């Protein structure tokens, strides 16, 4: 496992300071820096992940072998956000909502109205016929 600062880069440690080597991104030279022990521990602790977290680097479009260019990704995000905005703004042509047909009573033909909506299935009721169809025997 690689750590933020390996042991061979630490050159000197005394009671109040730590000297270590580093290489700036744009330079090939190796420089050394001396900081207080407190500042060293504070900057080193920034690289420690909380328990349960994993270090993930270069995944997806950020991977070094990804062929996607940042400009293309920006354009895809812009189009998708713009399309969602365009559809939700009311400027997109939308079909008018058809009203539901009226439900009428089969017996009298009068329009019916909704009194309640339930998630429970409808339970069968006993017939008014002389012989009950839900008898147990």
**39 SS3 class:** helix
Instruction: Identify which has the larger pLDDT, 2 or 21.
Output: 21
Instruction: Give the sheet arrangement for strand 17-22, strand by strand.
Output: 10-13, 17-22, 31-36
- Is the model's pLDDT at 61 over the cut of 70? yes
pLDDT tens column, 81-133: 766 666 566 666 667 777 767 788 888 888 887 777 666 666 655 555 555 44
Strands (E), the chain: 10-13, 17-22, 31-36
- Is the model's pLDDT at 16 over the cut of 90? yes
Buried b vs exposed e over 27-48: b needs ≥16 C-beta within 10 Å? eeeeeeeeeeeeebeeeeeeee
Length of the chain (residues) = 137
Q: Going by DSSP bridges, is the β-strand pair 31-36/17-22 parallel, antiparallel, or unpaired? A: antiparallel
Instruction: Identify which has the larger pLDDT, 64 or 135.
Output: 64
Is the whole-model pTM more than 0.75? Answer: no
Reading the block at residue 134, the tokens are 């839900």
């Amino acid at each position: 496992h690689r750590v933020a600062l390996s042991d061979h880069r630490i050159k000197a440690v005394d009671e109040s300071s730590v000297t270590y080597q580093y290489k700036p991104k744009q330079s090939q030279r190796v420089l050394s820096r001396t900081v207080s022990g407190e500042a060293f521990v504070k900057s080193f602790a920034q690289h420690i992940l909380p328990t349960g977290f994993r270090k993930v680097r270069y995944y997806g479009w950020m991977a070094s072998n990804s062929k996607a260019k940042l400009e293309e990704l920006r354009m895809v995000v812009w189009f998708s956000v713009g399309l969602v905005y365009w559809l939700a703004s009311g400027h997109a042509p939308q079909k008018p909502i058809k009203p539901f047909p009226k439900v009428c009573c089969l017996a009298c033909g009068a329009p019916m109205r909704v009194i309640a909506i339930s998630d429970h299935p409808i339970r069968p009721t006993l017939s008014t016929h002389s012989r009950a169809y839900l008898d147990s025997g």
